[in-house]
Chains A and B, each alone.
Chain A
């Protein structure tokens, strides 16, 4: 059992290049969402997850604050999307490897006591679970270039 998401991926590009992709507003917009990120501790920014009327998803604003920023090794920001996902923490750690760069990704701090709280199964099935499902399809749509 865990309340954290951890991933480890190996990317063939050098550390500096990977850092550019995760600590730059324009690059982040390309693989995450539109944002006003700046690479300095204490900077508050938002990700705008775009709406998708097709799946009845109204869009989502994720409030963030840079918590750690040590180029080209460590980037960490808070991630608040409301409900049970308040003040969670997203961390990217970049470790140089002989074949490129290892990215140690972590998303921690989910409030497990509250995931189906206010959002849950209220109204016309507009629960958090549902919203995440929709979010996933929005993401898939975008990935498919639609």
Chain B
């Protein structure tokens, strides 16, 4: 069960490791889009775009819906939680350090 969680998280991190896929997520933040609507923003071929979308889909970061002959994609932002948590550890670390820097300086100022 622990391992499943790790695998799922691995998928999410892997999915956003590619700049093109991060850009796709950025586009979907603005609203749902068709493959065509997404492909228009990229130089790559349509199959390449579809392959990237497949990876996002497998990681659960986007959902897919057929509308007539077209597939529409929607962002599933909740799936980014592991990334947020991971970054949060570091933010906590630096928040603490920066607070200590402030203390260090105010102590010096009193001398």
- Residues of A participating in the B interface, judged by any CB pair closer than 8 Å: 1-3, 5, 7, 9, 11-13, 17-18, 21-22, 27, 30-32, 103, 105, 107, 110-117, 120-121, 127, 129, 132-133, 135-136, 139-140, 143
Contact present for A21 and B104 (CB under 8 Å):
yes
With a cutoff of 8 Å between Cβ atoms, the chain B residues found around residue A133 in the complex are 89
Which of chain A's residues have a CB closer than 8 A to the CB of B106? 12-13
Given A112-B13, A120-B10, A107 and B98 contact (CB-CB distance below 8 Å):
no
A135 to B90, CA, bound (A): 10
- Check if B105 sits within 8 Å of A17, measured CB to CB: yes
Bound-state CA distance A13–B9 (Å) is 43
Contacts of A17 in B (CB 8 A): 105, 108-109
- Chain B 1-15, CB within 8 Å of chain A: the 1/0 string? 011011001100110
Q: Which residues of chain A come closer than 8 Å to B10, judged between CB atoms? A: 116-117, 120
A1 to B60, CA, bound (A): 15
Distance of A129 Cα from B80 Cα, bound (Å): 16
Question: B residues engaging A (CB < 8 A)?
Answer: 2-3, 5-6, 9-10, 13-14, 16-17, 22, 25-26, 80, 83, 85-87, 89-106, 108-109
B residues near A111, Cβ cutoff 8 Å: 17
B104 touches A113 (CB 8 A): no
Closest chain A CB from B69 CB (angstroms): 31
Residue from the list B17, B87, B101 in contact with A22, Cβ < 8 A: B101
**Bound complex: CA of A7 vs CA of B108, how far in Å?**
23
Contact of B101 among A12, A31, A116 (CB under 8 A): A31
Is there contact, CB below 8 Å, between A143 and B100? yes
A129 touching B89, Cβ below 8 Å: yes
**Which A residue sits closest to B2, measured CB to CB?**
A121
Given contacts A113-B14, A121-B2, A140-B96, A129 and B86 within 8 Å (CB-CB): yes
* Nearest 6 Cβ contacts at the A-B interface: A113-B17, A31-B100, A132-B89, A121-B6, A31-B104, A31-B101
